[in-house]
Structure 1
Amino acid sequence: MVSALVVVGILVAAFVGYNIGGSSTGVAFGPAVGSRIVTKTTAAGLFTAFAFLGAWTVGRNVIDTMSDGIVPAAQFTPEAAVGVLFFAGLGLMLANLYGVPASTSMTSVGAIVGLGLATDTLNSALMFTIVSAWIVAPLLGFFAGAVIGRYLYPHLNARFSFGRLQTQLVELDRSGRAPYPRFNENASRRDVVGSLLVLVIACYMGFSAGASNAANAVAPLVGNGSITIEQGILLAVAAIGLGGFTIARRTLATVGNDITDLPILAALVVSTIGATIITVLSRLGIPASLAVSTTCCIIGLGWGRASRAATLAEIATPTPEHEHEQGPTTGALATPTAGEDVPAGPTVGELASGDTDHQAARTESDASVPQIGDEDPEDLTAESLFDPSATARIVFLWVFTPILSVVGSYLLFSLIL
């Protein structure tokens, strides 16, 4: 007979998964929904399917690590499982209240660490590896973004642009006896290829989110044997999918306001890098934060783009006119390069709000990119990438929520349970 604590644990796990689905669906499919490639319902369905694929494959390794690696599985009594899941949900709730992309993995691991410290069963060697990955992954995202922003992004931006579809990319043709799907007849081949690229990256993000986040919802229950790993994956994905079909609709609707200044091309670059980093770490069984790695990549991409105003020699030996230059900018990502008459591609916010009638079709002849050091610094520093106070709040909560989870969990398991 299933005990009441196990039932409570399953309900708390479902609540955690529900909130993960609500936040992660918008992050992954915001650009695709904003540019009218798919509807919100289709986005939720695709996200759920690819999250399941990620959880069922590489996500098993993360579940193994969190259910029997950081602390022995025997430590996950029904009471301990509920306590760990409670602090994971608390961290997620705090992040959502302050509008910060949640680092669920770091908060969940923090709760397990508190349990390990209280019972003196923490695997210190494994935790050293995990914390090292938490440091290296954001740095890798930053440097990858910086290199692409400085050397590749201007050329990509000069050759590719994403227009806005007035109706969905795939429509139902009801002219015959039975409706059947077909591509929007007003969409050009370039629109179709670009839209499919956005959609593929969104699905890849869904795969990465499932691989990384399923463990956050069910690892303690798998650890104490209340459910099997397969049952845990099904429970986590079902809860994540429910969040995607319900509360994620609001996230999908407002994601453009959250990243208004981020162009579609930049969103594709950072999504690909962030998802790849997390997929590799998940394959290695290391829980890590997709939000942290992706955000650091955005900072690196903006810095790399803005740094094109000076050569490496000039950066190494700054002259007086460079001393007062501003930091990395999203304007640097979206601003047309010198000498171009063609506007830059639309941002996610413009596509989501319908404030642009930008036409895709930048050709090879338009792709004139100034050399590094020849671009106007004023053009590259038009707008701030992040509001300083908002950035400070994000970084503070990324550090504070795992610490709160560790301290709260430790006090709970050492003094009460």
Structure 2
Amino acid sequence: MVSALLVVGLFVAAFVGYNIGGSSTGVAFGPAVGSRIVGKVSAATLFTSFALLGGWTVGRNVIDTMSDGIVPATLFTPATSVGVLFFAGAALLLSNLYGVPASTSMTAVGAIVGLGLARNRLNEAIMFTIVSAWIVAPLVAFLTGVVIGRYVYPHLDARITFTRIENSLVQLDRSGTVPRPHLNENASPRDVVGGVGVVGIACYMGFSAGASNAANAVAPLVGDGAITIEQGILLAIGSIGLGGFTIARRTLDTISDGITDLPIMAALVVSFVGATVITVLSRLGIPASLAVSTTCCIIGLGWGRASRAVTLAEAATTAVDTDPEAELTTGALAEPTMDEPAGPTVGTLAAGEVEERDPDEAVEVPPIGEEELDELAAESLFDPAATSRIVILWILSPTLSVIGSYVLFLLLP
């Protein structure tokens, strides 16, 4: 019976990792694949490699917290491990069904909390730290996005161009016995620099995904001693990589619905900020959601961009009216002003519909306070109903996980 439960636990852990890889690869490498800097196989290879690096280094701290920090490791048995992993898989299902970035990390932690409450062995001090981080991290991502959107993003968008490279940036010369890599002859020096930056940020996001998500797949199995932490990391990243090479191909075909309409410059900023927040938390051993941090950064980036319509002095004395029936879009990031063309989106790069801008052409960025609010599309940033639905599900998924886990483990001996 124990052996059968172990097999089930390993299967569920692999299933969780497989789905994480399928979704995370597309989000991390969407801009790189859309602009033809790398292909799908290269994207999956790089994502898996850096996810392994992240999981093998700072990811160990998160596994330690989830396997023997929130509750004692002795509470993890083959049965309870399967139960906890079930709720992590349910979070992925919820996310896919409703199209909302539900947090696998938060739901997995919720399941462990339910176990601790049912056995009266919850480490309240660690949970206070984790919950505090869940509140502070999205706020930090949001405020960082606001500052970048208001003061930095317009200048980056005006001075850095992105083009769609035919074939890929690095190609293989197969004329000899041993294939030799070389740069695409059609790529300009600006393309090479931009391509290295895009791929570098994508790899960084893969690193943070591995650091934060490896624990979601294997922490209970490590806690009950069924596998070692090294075996757990290899199982988790192997499953994540399998998802990256298989189901992620479909995600990469569409360049992920979540970022298709986002300007590629905004996607890179959001990826960097979100990955940094999660890497820092993972280093501290705190499980947290990459999806929540990146989404909050998108919101902050949009608001910061829209706030350029007024100076700080004007903002302090004047209320800006917004349309209560506005739709949730990235309008303030994508809408051009009269003097400043918007950068290409991930979707237009993927479709090859980019009208190339002369890199030597000077683009004037209007000073803060001189841009029109209507042109920045601030009124189309948020739909209150859509925003509230996202926030409610972020709170609801771990809450239901705690309740369901508590009831389940009360019934289990």
Shift in CA distance, 256/16, structure 1 to aligned 2, threshold 3 Å = closer
Whichever residue aligns with residue 120 of structure 1, its letter is: N
Alignment correspondent of 1:278? 278
1:268 equivalent in structure 2: 268
Taking the aligned partners of 2:63 and 2:118, their CA distance within structure 1 comes to 22
Q: How does 1:225-374 map to 2 (within 5 A)?
A: 225-318=225-318, 322-324=320-322, 330-340=330-340, 343-356=341-354, 358-363=355-360, 366-374=362-370
Distance of 2:192 and 2:256 partners within structure 1: 21
Identity %: 73
In 2: Cα distance, 1:35 partner to 1:147 partner? 27
Q: Are the equivalent residues in 2 in contact too, given 1:76–1:220 (CA < 8 A)?
A: yes
Cα–Cα, structure 1 residues 5 and 38, in superposed 2: closer, same or farther, change >3 Å? same
**Alignment map for 1:393-412 (pairs within 5 Å):** 393-412=389-408
| Contact 2:164/2:350, CA 8 A, preserved across alignment | no
Contact conserved, 1:38 with 1:169, CA < 8 A, in 2?
yes
* One-letter identity of the residue aligned with 1:348: V
Distance 1:37 1:67, change over 3 A: same
- Please list the CA deviations of residues 366-415 of structure 1 after superposition, one character each: whole Å capped at 9, or x if unmatched: 14211111011111017834555443332222111111111110000012
1:56 alignment counterpart: 56
3-state SS in 1 of match to 2:31: helix
Q: How does 1:9-408 map to 2 (within 5 A)?
A: 9-318=9-318, 322-324=320-322, 330-340=330-340, 343-356=341-354, 358-363=355-360, 366-381=362-377, 384-386=380-382, 388-408=384-404
Cα distance, 1:314 vs. partner? 1.3
* Letter matched to residue 412 of structure 1: L
Tell whether the 8 Å contact from 2:74 to 2:224 is kept in structure 1 after alignment: yes
Q: Deviations over 1:59-118 (max 9, x none)?
A: 000000000000000000111111111111111111112222231100100000000000
How many residue pairs were aligned?
Answer: 411
TM value normalised by structure 1: 0.94
Q: Is the 8 A contact 2:147 2:301 kept in 1?
A: yes
Range with bigger deviation, 390-399 or 19-28: 390-399
- Matched residue of 2:365: which SS? coil
Give the whole-Å Cα distance in 1 for the aligned partners of 2:115 and 2:402: 8
C-alpha distance in 2, partners of 1:181/1:102?
Answer: 40
Q: Is the 8 A contact 1:330 1:383 kept in 2?
A: no
Counterpart code for 1:101: P
Distance 1:113 1:194 in 2: 44
The 1-side partners of 2:177 and 2:252 are apart by 34
Q: Which runs of 4+ in 1 moved over 6 A?
A: 325-328
Question: What is the distance in 2 between the residues matched to 1:251 and 1:324?
Answer: 34
Q: Residue 179 of structure 1: CA displacement?
A: 3.1
Q: Distance in 2 between matches of 1:374 and 1:81?
A: 58
Note the residue ranges of structure 1 that are not aligned, 5 or more in a row: none
Q: Any idea what the Cα deviations from partners look like across 1:314-343, whole Å, max 9, x if unmatched?
A: 112116xx4247889623223344434xx3
Higher deviation after alignment, 286-295 or 29-38: 29-38
